[in-house]
Amino acid sequence: MKKLVYASLICATTVLAGCEKFLDKTDPTATRFSEFFNTEEDLRRVVYSSMLDVFSGPGLTAKLPYMEDGKTDNAYSRSEGHHHQLIANGNFNSNTTAFLYYYELHMKHLGRLNVFIANADIPYVEDEAVRAKYKGVLEGIRCWHYFWLVSRWGSVPYYLEPADITSATQTPKSQEEILADLFPMAENVANSLSPDEYTSDAYMFNRYSLKSIIMRYYLYFGRYEDAARLAKEIMDSQKYSLHPVYADLFSYKADKTNREFIFTMDMASHGNSATNSFQHLAPQYRTGNGQSFVVPLKSLIDTYWTLQGDPIDQSPQHTKEEYELDPKLNRDPRLAASIYMPGDMFATEPIEIYDPNNPMYFERPRASRSGYWFRKFVDPADAFRSGGNMHFPYLRYAEVLLTYAEAKIMQNQVDALAKQCINDVRRRAGLDMTQADVTLPKYAGYTQQQWIDLIRNERRIELAGEGRRYDDIIRWRIAEQVLNEPALGHTRMMNGEKVTLKIEDRAFRSNNYLWPFHENSLKVEPGLKQNEGY
């Protein structure tokens, strides 16, 4: 019984563990929570720590949005310890460390959040609106944790108060029960928040950034009418817009100055500590800084349609083989904006992946085994310094437009606004709109399935390298198709034959749409029930 109580109450007893600087209390003899949770600054610090420890730590490779594509057919993650590789290739079971890491991380912080929220009336503030703002942000983060958990495991423990014996031993609630409570609660919290965008501390929720997260999960769980409703509300707010130059969003040219990032991992979210996207994603340049931890696959490269908006196997301009052998040929400009390819210049060095004397040679230990690298969030300015100061989007306005379009398509209601949303995204990308405009006659006879194929591909290439692909292949129920294909890289002609780099075989089983609970979690929480197939 002692072990059970200890394990179940760990969320409460370790409530402040890991919260940066939070234990720098004024009174070193204080032993009760209320003794060092008593000022407006304390409220701000718990919001900061609640984001830093889970979502915005620049070294959290298992949680950083731009690393998440390593779980998918978009990319390969070369480090097993980052918890993406085994999920992508299917070589996991209920003893795989990743599932203990993610479950404990989110459940532990939910315990902390319950304590923070329950005690939010204790600190002294001069303006009660400040207390309401911070409490609302904390409640929004709690909702985000639960959305994430139910999307991965389905039924999980669900409680909104500090842990006690009763909550510690409760049976998990079903996904349906949790969502029935969570969606209206999250919308109520969002409506209580200010509609104004933060000029600093952009990691804190405001009304529309929280609604954009709720919108995302409405889409994930197939609640298309609500997803379209919230997307329309965000559009109608006129607070956000597409940045004119797509590529600039992912470099120092516009990462801090655009109106497209709705919810942002800014420098304030991690105390201005250095960001590591160059180290994580870049080629191993002569400085040795780039680690190629997550690299794009051929599957993603081939997904970029033509400049005219056609799939490469349906293009009248060139054959599919010609596009495979020359990915730069007549392609959607987002390909060049998002990915470094053989023949490109990186800093002052040409990328020659088959030259053993080139630092980007594909067989080097820290090279890209696919022969490709993400260009997003890799600014050459970081090549010669130990860290950067990049801002990263959790969610940007383009996703809102694509969500509205997809939600309407899934209801078989492809209205004028849905088409405008697609056109706005394509036009900003630089496609030839004399042929890619979806209001043209060639699109008039599209079936619902053709619209579905179009919006899914549009979403994949627009958001590549930003951590959205795993959720998409799970909610579309296509993971059994795309993750049972080998992970492949660059293609070239050798001795008259087409040869493609192969990285690994992959597997995905029908039960993998939900994750397993780790065996350790089952031992300390007897109320948990293992998901089917594990």
Is the distance from CB of 7 to CB of 524 less than 8 angstroms? Answer: yes
C-alpha span between 460 and 300 (Å, rounded):
8
Q: Do 307 and 328 touch, CB atoms closer than 8 A? A: no
- Alpha-carbon span 309 to 270, nearest angstrom: 39
The tokens describing 241, both together, are 């817009």
Write the burial class of residue 475 (CB in 10 Å: 0-12 exposed, 13-18 middle, 19+ buried).
middle
pLDDT of residue 170: 79
Give the pTM.
0.94
One digit per residue, the tens of pLDDT, for the chain of length 534 reads 334 333 444 444 344 334 444 444 455 555 677 677 899 999 999 999 999 999 999 999 999 999 999 999 999 999 999 999 999 999 999 999 999 999 999 999 999 999 999 999 999 999 999 999 999 999 999 999 999 999 999 999 999 999 887 776 778 999 999 999 999 999 999 999 999 877 778 999 999 999 999 999 999 999 999 999 999 999 999 999 999 999 999 999 999 999 999 999 999 999 999 999 999 999 987 766 899 999 999 999 999 999 999 999 999 999 999 999 999 999 999 999 999 999 999 988 899 999 999 989 999 989 999 999 999 999 999 988 889 999 999 999 999 999 999 999 999 999 999 999 999 999 999 999 999 999 999 999 999 999 999 999 999 999 999 999 999 999 999 999 999 999 999 999 999 999 999 999 999 999 999 999 999 999 999 889 999 999
**Residue 67 pLDDT:** 98
Could you tell me which residues come within 8 angstroms of residue 176 by beta carbon, excluding any fewer than 6 positions away?
A: none
Q: Which residues contact 349 (CB under 8 A, 6 or more apart)?
A: 285, 286, 358, 359, 360
Q: Would you say 193 and 140 are in contact if contact means Cβ atoms under 8 Å apart?
A: yes
- What pLDDT does residue 5 have? 37
How far is 303 from 402, CA to CA, in rounded Å? 17
Report the C-alpha gap between 170 and 529 in whole angstroms. Answer: 12
Please report the pLDDT score of residue 354 as a whole number. Answer: 97
Q: What is the pLDDT of residue 28?
A: 52
46 membership: H or E segment, kind and range: helix 40-51
3-state SS track over 354-414: CCCCCCCCCCCCCCCCCCCEECCCCCHHHCCCCCECCCEEEEEHHHHHHHHHHHHHHCCCC
Query: What percent of the residues of the chain are helix, what percent strand, and what percent coil, each to the nearest 5?
Result: 45, 10, 45
What tokens were used for 492? 């070239």
State residue 419's pLDDT score. 98
Instruction: Look at phi and psi of residue 477 and say left if phi exceeds 0, alpha if psi is from -120 to 50, else beta.
Output: left
DSSP E strand stretches across 208-323: 261-265, 294-296
CB 84 within 8 A of CB 67: yes
Give me the sign of the Cα torsion angle 138, 156, 73, 313: negative
pLDDT in the model for residue 164: 80
- In angstroms, rounded to a whole number, what is the distance separating the alpha carbons of residues 154 and 148? 10
Assigned token pair, 257: 């100055």
Distances (CA, A) of 498 to 15, 329, 491: 57, 17, 7
Residues in the chain: 534
- Tell me what pLDDT residue 31 has: 60
Contacts for 81 with CB less than 8 Å, ≥ 6 apart: none
267 burial level (CB within 10 Å; 0-12, 13-18, 19+)? buried
Residue 22's SS3 state is coil
**pLDDT score recorded for residue 10:** 42
What is the spatial distance between Cα 214 and Cα 226, in angstroms, rounded to a whole number? 9
Of 431, 199, 242, nearest to 331 by C-alpha is 431
